[in-house]
Amino acid sequence: MNNNKSLNCRLCEEKANLVFSKKILNKFIVNYYKCSNCESLQTEKPYWLDEAYSKSNLCDDDLGAAYRALRNHEKVFILSKLLKVNKGLDWGSGDGLLCRLLRDYELNFFSSDKYSLPKYSSKFLISDYNNIDLIVSFEVFEHMSEPNNEIDFLFKTGPNSVFISTLFYNNNEKNWHYLHPDSGMHVFFYSKKSIKMIAKKYNYDVWFFDNQYALFYKKNYISNLKLKILNFFFNKYATKLIRMYLTILPARGIEKDKKQIS
């Protein structure tokens, strides 16, 4: 633990003030700071990450990872169809399950993860960041130790849209479950204000769904009508329609990929 009462925000570089301390990995006492400008919460510089990721890229107590992949698959499927996505990337893809599910239904997605080999999509790792229509990044942003640099790289690839999930910080206290202190992997927590600042910095618009999803998109890339359609289909009841549709839709992408890699 450092003794600093403030530090420079790792997202917007303005002053962040100490709000509480918490034990990480059951051994390190770590300070948490709230930014006075973007209103995000962050740990002190996370020196423990090598240890946190030494066994796995997945939190041991994260029992919902597979379920999230299925539910995010539904959302990305309808989003990709609505926006006519030709090339997509799952950035921070973990084991690559989401990418594989998307490719099963003939969506041209690729994987990338700096902490894990995406074994489900190991034949479809990103090699060309040009002409990406959609980047999805689910439960990744909170893992970024240097979000300013990592987000800068992401947006400078020039995607038409970026769809993320992360629980948004709203003055939550030190017992907030999303801090995941036992894993030590969650180190930055974004307010909705900070998400809007990111969109403005890279000249994107942003649309929020629930307290967990944000869709960045280039100016005039998505019409108001399409946003209304997304609002309907991203409703937890309407997504069941997509789920039912996918259960009867043939997964033709499997055979298509078999031919490609052979």
What per-residue confidence (pLDDT) applies to 116? Answer: 83
CATH topology of domain 65-261: Rossmann fold (3.40.50)
Does 57 score more than 80 pLDDT?
A: no
End-to-end alpha-carbon separation of the chain, Å?
52
CB 230 within 8 A of CB 78: yes
Q: How many helices (H) and strands (E) does the chain have?
A: 8, 11
Does 61 score more than 80 pLDDT?
A: no
Phi then psi dihedrals of residue 165, to 5 deg: -130, 135
Domain ranges for the chain, please list them.
6-52, 65-261
Average pLDDT, the chain: 92
Predicted TM-score (pTM) above 0.85? yes
Output the CA–CA distances (angstroms, integers) from residue 234 to 199, 231, 238, 245, 261, in the order listed. 21, 5, 7, 15, 34
CATH topology of domain 6-52: N-terminal domain of TfIIb (2.20.25)
Q: What band does 136 get if pLDDT is binned at 50, 70 and 90?
A: very high
Q: How far apart are CA 18 and CA 34, in angstroms?
A: 6
